[in-house]
Amino acid sequence: MELAPDSPLHWYMAVLRDIDRLMVAPVELGLPTRATFREAAFEELSLVCDGGTLRIDLANTRKVDSAGLSALLLIHRRAQERMQRIVLSNASAEIRYLLTLTEMSGLFEQS
């Protein structure tokens, strides 16, 4: 069923789609990938309504270095400006430990 663009239901459905978005982090989140990852996350955040959530799937991420942590921190700050949430999904025990060690674990919800 196609809704007319001026239909109130069409607008409502568009808002619902933008409450929660998902992106997949690269295998290595570090110096070579940080800029591309950060810009992709900023783009996703621009599609999320204020108060919405961006979920970052870390299931395939095997390595995070200081540049990757910096990218996550900048993504968090951008989200915070719009009262958005960042949820890190499927982080390995090593990545969770790194976030704890750097005192960044409290910045992100984890699932």
Residue 81: CATH number of its domain:
3.30.750.24
pLDDT at 4: 55
pTM for the model: 0.82
Answer whether residue 62 is part of any domain. Answer: yes
Containing structural domain, residue 58: 19-110
Asked whether residue 85 is assigned to any structural domain, the reply reads: yes
Instruction: State the amino acid at position 42 in one-letter form.
Output: F
Is the four-CA dihedral 94, 97, 101, 104 of positive or negative sign? Answer: positive
Q: DSSP character for 19? A: S
pLDDT value of residue 19: 85
Judging by DSSP bridges, how do beta strands 20-24 and 85-89 pair with one another? unpaired
Ranges of the chain whose pLDDT falls below 70: 1-18
- Identify any residues that bridge with 24 across adjacent strands, giving them in sequence order: 57
User: Which pLDDT does position 111 carry in this prediction?
Assistant: 87
Per the listing, tokens 């910045």 go with 107
3-state secondary structure of 56: strand
How high does pLDDT run on average in the chain?
Answer: 88
